[in-house]
Structure 1
Amino acid sequence: MSVRVAVVGLGWAGRELWLPRLREHPAFDVVAVVDPSPASRAAHEQDEGRAGVRGGACGAHPAVLADVDELDRRSVDLAVVAVPNHLHAEVAVALLQRGIPVFVEKPVCLNSAEAEKLAQAEADGGAVLLAGSASRYRGDIGVLLDLVPSLGTVRHVELAWTRARGVPKSGGWFTSRSQAGGGVLLDLGWHLLDILDAVLGPVPMVQVSGTVSDDFVNDPSWGAAWRQDGPQAELRGDVEDTARGFLVSERGTSVALRASWASHAARDLTLVRVEGSAGTATLRCVFGFSPNREPVPTLTLTREGRTEDIALPAEPIGVEYGRQLDDLPRLLDDPAHRGRAVSDIRRNIRITERFYESALTLGTASPEPSPLLPLGMS
């Protein structure tokens, strides 16, 4: 039996990322879409009509709604929350309290207070919270993770996602601190912290230091031309476009972290390097959808001065999102998964808060705190 899904939010993520994949996936039946904007709902209905898209059960088109309160718990098995960042927790809490399971795009929330509200709503409503972690479903990441046990004791992890020109269109919510909560650290950095969890496991960080900068965010020439964000107001962005940090776990493992929406590099790059007592594995690839990338990812293993190439599966850009959908029905049916996402969220959002606190202390972050975030997440 298909999982009946409501997609909440008709921005880029809902429209371009999730709706097409959910429609094509045999395990899901899109029964509703929700967006408060009349223009977004009208544009969606126009697109559906032109494309002749299959909709909900028995071939009917999905219901087009203005508010999540209009969703009927009896006819929805899962809500995919793809709204702007500052609404993630609010929308997810409202749905969870009504007993509707939710899948929330990253960042799931913006601060520890929101994480606790999500935890309480999941417990009270009895529905499960699932968090986006598509990067874990990449084939190259899977091969890297299989290598980690052979590296001995992990001593250092380097994680970087650096775009050449990839700033989201300025003037939109992505570069507005009051709506995004932060910049590239919450956007690309969340993916890197998720991979760090996969490499090290749920290990607390006892030291977090970070700096942020905004050299590119308000220069349109550094924008992400491949993203169809739509027209935006001419407003200045007030978030960071680059974050650089250093973490130390309670086991003494060090972590170097960098996330950049723009840089002087020729191509985008995601780097994951794991250094262990018995060897070093280095993955060079590109997360996400940017076409400005090397043709194929590479993975090398170095031991005692010798480096060998490790074979990686060939796969199309974005396949990890489909694989994540493959896994959602299992996670929905697994009672043991309840509370697991919240545990990961608490850990990662606390790292993010401490990173921003460090940047503020060092004078590299704006001294004007956002009303959405605790002191230091500004």
Structure 2
Amino acid sequence: MSLRVAVVGLGWAARTIWLPRLAGHPDMTVTAVVDPSPAARAAFADSTGVRVLSDPGELSPGLVDLAIVAVPNHAHSSVAAALLRRGIPVFLEKPVCLSHEEADELARAEQEGGAVLIAGSAARCRTDIQALRQLVESVGEVRHLRLAWVRANGVPGTDWFTRRSEAGGGVLLDLGWHLLDTALFLLGPLSFDQVVATTTYDFVNRRASQAAWREEDPKPAGGDAADVEDTARAFLVTDSGVSVSLLTSWASHATHDRTTVEVHGSEGTAVLGCTFGFSPNRLGGSSLTFTQDGKITPVSVDEEPVGAEYDRQIDALAGLPADQAQRGEAVAAARRTIDVITRIYESAARAADSRKPEEVPA
């Protein structure tokens, strides 16, 4: 039986990632799309069998089995919570929440409505990340995890994405969420005893640094300056002594986008080099190696098309809305992630060389 799906929010993610994949999936049927923008709704006015709605409050369990929520960050938890309370399972794009209070609200909504919240976790669905996870046991006792995702030019062009009032933060909440979820996937839940971090704003207001590949209109000249960070650097230490370094940038002086995940252990080191996401500024495929006693061994990784991790997420969705064992899992993971992100921002605010948002040059 086909899963009836509603897509809430018709921005870039819905148009580019979710709707094309849902349309081509044999076990999914899009029964409704929702967006407050008349222009966005007009694009789907002629879609046969698809209800075009202006408010997610018009959705009901009689119309949909699952709602994919891809609205601006500040509305993630409120929209998802309202749907959950009406008994509609929700797949929520990252960031799942912007605060501990929002995580609490999602937990209450899940309990009150009896529906399941599912979190978007694209990185862990990548073939190369799954291959890296299989190597973790080979490194022995894990000592250090290095996570880096640095774009050449990739500042989002959508205005709300670079306004703290609507996005909640910058690259840390965007790309950093994926990296922290990767850490959770590789090593399991981590409790951090120490967090030190900085954030910088060198590229966020440069038009040349905008992600033109996202098919968005360039920000108008003379518009409001962005007030979120384009780069975050953090060093974290768990209560068991494992260290984690994190670097994430929307833009840089590099010519290509690069994602690096390294797991250093007592018996060896596993290193993955690849490019997360959809940017065309890629270096090619994925490279995975295992190093032990001075010997570097390449590990084979199947090549896959850009975006294949999202295909796998869609494939996995069919059975999840009815799986009550999933209840609470997404919120628990989100609590851990938003706690780390909050502490990184707090540390950066205290850092002597951290520049306050209002000091960012236009």
Please indicate the TM-score interval, normalised by the length of the shorter structure. over 0.9
Equivalent position SS for 1:267 = coil
For 1:72, the equivalent position in structure 2 comes to 60
Q: What is the Cα deviation at residue 297 of structure 1? A: 1.0
Name the CA distance, whole Å, in 2 between partners of 1:36 and 1:125.
24
For 1:242, the equivalent position in structure 2 comes to 231
For 2:169, the equivalent position in structure 1 comes to 182
For 2:14, the equivalent position in structure 1 comes to 14
Structure 1, unaligned runs of 5 or more: 50-54, 369-378
Equivalent position SS for 1:6 = strand
For 2:319, the equivalent position in structure 1 comes to 330
Equivalent position SS for 1:263 = coil
Q: What is the Cα deviation at residue 102 of structure 1? A: 0.3
Does the aligned pair in 1 maintain the 2:116–2:326 contact within 8 Å?
Answer: yes
Equivalent position SS for 2:320 = helix
For 1:228, the equivalent position in structure 2 comes to 215
Q: Does 1:172 align with 2:162?
A: no
Does the aligned pair in 2 maintain the 1:282–1:299 contact within 8 Å?
Answer: yes
Q: What is the Cα deviation at residue 200 of structure 1? A: 1.3
For 1:316, the equivalent position in structure 2 comes to 305
Q: Does 1:90 align with 2:78?
A: yes
Name the CA distance, whole Å, in 2 between partners of 1:20 and 1:293.
23
AA aligned to 1:195 is: T
Name the CA distance, whole Å, in 1 between partners of 2:12 and 2:224.
19
Task: Please point out which of 223, 232, 252 is paired with 1:263.
Answer: 252
Q: What is the Cα deviation at residue 331 of structure 1? A: 2.1
AA aligned to 2:356 is: S
Q: Does 1:302 align with 2:291?
A: yes
Task: Please point out which of 320, 342, 358 is paired with 2:347.
Answer: 358
For 1:287, the equivalent position in structure 2 comes to 276
Percentage of matched positions with identical amino acids:
57
Task: Please point out which of 87, 90, 102 is paired with 1:99.
Answer: 87
Does the aligned pair in 2 maintain the 1:177–1:238 contact within 8 Å?
Answer: yes
AA aligned to 1:100 is: I
Name the CA distance, whole Å, in 1 between partners of 2:205 and 2:195.
28
Equivalent position SS for 2:67 = strand
Name the CA distance, whole Å, in 1 between partners of 2:218 and 2:284.
31
Q: What is the Cα deviation at residue 365 of structure 1? A: 4.8
AA aligned to 1:83 is: V
Name the CA distance, whole Å, in 1 between partners of 2:161 and 2:301.
33
Q: Does 1:200 align with 2:206?
A: no
| RMSD between aligned residues | 1.3
Equivalent position SS for 1:32 = strand
Instruction: Identify which range, 231-240 or 184-193, moves more after superposition.
Output: 231-240
Equivalent position SS for 1:331 = coil
Name the CA distance, whole Å, in 1 between partners of 2:9 and 2:227.
24
For 2:36, the equivalent position in structure 1 comes to 36
For 1:157, the equivalent position in structure 2 comes to 145
For 1:210, the equivalent position in structure 2 comes to 197
Q: What is the Cα deviation at residue 97 of structure 1? A: 0.8
Name the CA distance, whole Å, in 2 between partners of 1:95 and 1:333.
15
Name the CA distance, whole Å, in 2 between partners of 1:360 and 1:367.
10
Q: What is the Cα deviation at residue 225 of structure 1? A: 1.6
AA aligned to 1:113 is: E
Does the aligned pair in 2 maintain the 1:273–1:282 contact within 8 Å?
Answer: yes
Name the CA distance, whole Å, in 2 between partners of 1:366 and 1:99.
42
Name the CA distance, whole Å, in 1 between partners of 2:156 and 2:106.
27
For 1:136, the equivalent position in structure 2 comes to 124
AA aligned to 1:227 is: R
Equivalent position SS for 1:343 = helix
Q: 1:97-144 CA deviation, whole Å, 9 max, x = no partner?
A: 111000010111111111110011011111000000011111101110
AA aligned to 1:30 is: V
Structure 2, unaligned runs of 5 or more: none
Name the CA distance, whole Å, in 2 between partners of 1:112 and 1:35.
27
Name the CA distance, whole Å, in 2 between partners of 1:249 and 1:123.
31
For 1:126, the equivalent position in structure 2 comes to 114
Q: 1:233-291 CA deviation, whole Å, 9 max, x = no partner?
A: 52211100000001111221000000100111121000000001110000000000001
AA aligned to 1:311 is: S
Name the CA distance, whole Å, in 2 between partners of 1:213 and 1:80.
32
Name the CA distance, whole Å, in 2 between partners of 1:162 and 1:183.
14
Does the aligned pair in 1 maintain the 2:60–2:86 contact within 8 Å?
Answer: no
Q: 1:277-334 CA deviation, whole Å, 9 max, x = no partner?
A: 1100000000000011112110010000110111110100000000011111222232
Name the CA distance, whole Å, in 2 between partners of 1:232 and 1:36.
21
Name the CA distance, whole Å, in 1 between partners of 2:238 and 2:110.
29
Mapping of residues 338-357 of structure 1, within 5 Å: 338-357=327-346
Q: 1:13-42 CA deviation, whole Å, 9 max, x = no partner?
A: 111111111111111110000001112111
4+ aligned runs moved over 3 Å, structure 1: 230-233
Q: What is the Cα deviation at residue 212 of structure 1? A: 0.2
